[in-house]
Amino acid sequence: MKAYLFLTIAVLAAFFSSCTEKTTKKETVQTVQKETVIIRDTVYINKEEPKTTSVKEAPAYFLIAGCFEYKSNADRLREKLQKEGYPNALVMPYFENLYLVAYEGYATHKEAVAAARQLHKIPGNEEAWIHPVK
């Protein structure tokens, strides 16, 4: 009887041990299948390029058209220059009650000289001069 009981326990142990291996294999196969089924979402990030803004240097030289004691005369010349095609013409206070009328400002002396040479070629603008800002 002892042998019969021992044999039954051995058969049951072998049976259950083989079942657990199959179950483990099934779970492994299912896990592998689950991993292969997973689809990863791709997120596209829209990177905006930083906007570049050009920083203009403050003009160090001005090309001067005239100098006036009365601001009203300086304003008239500025308006005339703007109508002639110099949109950056401006009136600047110079000394006490004197006003300078400038064609345009330039960052470097070289730029101002080149602009003055071009301006002097136009009849009526031969007396324009370069004024450095201190």
Mean pLDDT of the region 13-37: 51
Let me know if residue 78 belongs to a domain.
yes
Quote the longest CA-to-CA distance of the chain: 135
Q: Give the CATH number for residue 77.
A: 3.30.70.1070
* Domain count across the chain: 1
Identity of the residue numbered 76:
R
Q: Is the pTM of this model over 0.75?
A: no
Query: How far is 100 from 97, CA to CA, in rounded Å?
Result: 10
pLDDT at 74: 95
Burial of 24 (C-beta count, 10 Å sphere; 0-12/13-18/19+): exposed
Mean pLDDT of the region 17-21: 54
Q: Which residues are bridge partners to 99 per DSSP?
A: 68, 93
Which stretch of 7-11, 33-37, 71-75 has the lowest confidence by average pLDDT?
33-37
Q: Which residue has the higher pLDDT, 74 or 52?
A: 74
Q: For a pLDDT cut of 90, what percent of the chain falls above it?
A: 45
Give Cα 75 distance to the centre of its chain: 38
Domain range enclosing 118 = 61-132
Let me know if residue 9 belongs to a domain.
no
Alpha-carbon torsion (4, 9, 12, 14), positive or negative? negative
Let me know if residue 48 belongs to a domain.
no
Query: How far is 67 from 85, CA to CA, in rounded Å?
Result: 20
Let me know if residue 16 belongs to a domain.
no
Q: Judge whether residue 28 has pLDDT over 80.
A: no
pLDDT at 124: 85
| Residue 92 in tokens | 């600047």
Query: How far is 118 from 31, CA to CA, in rounded Å?
Result: 81
Let me know if residue 128 belongs to a domain.
yes
How high is the mean pLDDT of the chain?
77
CA nearest to 130, candidates 67, 75, 65, 82: 65
* pLDDT tens-digit series, residues 72-117: 999 999 999 999 999 999 999 988 889 999 999 999 999 999 999 9
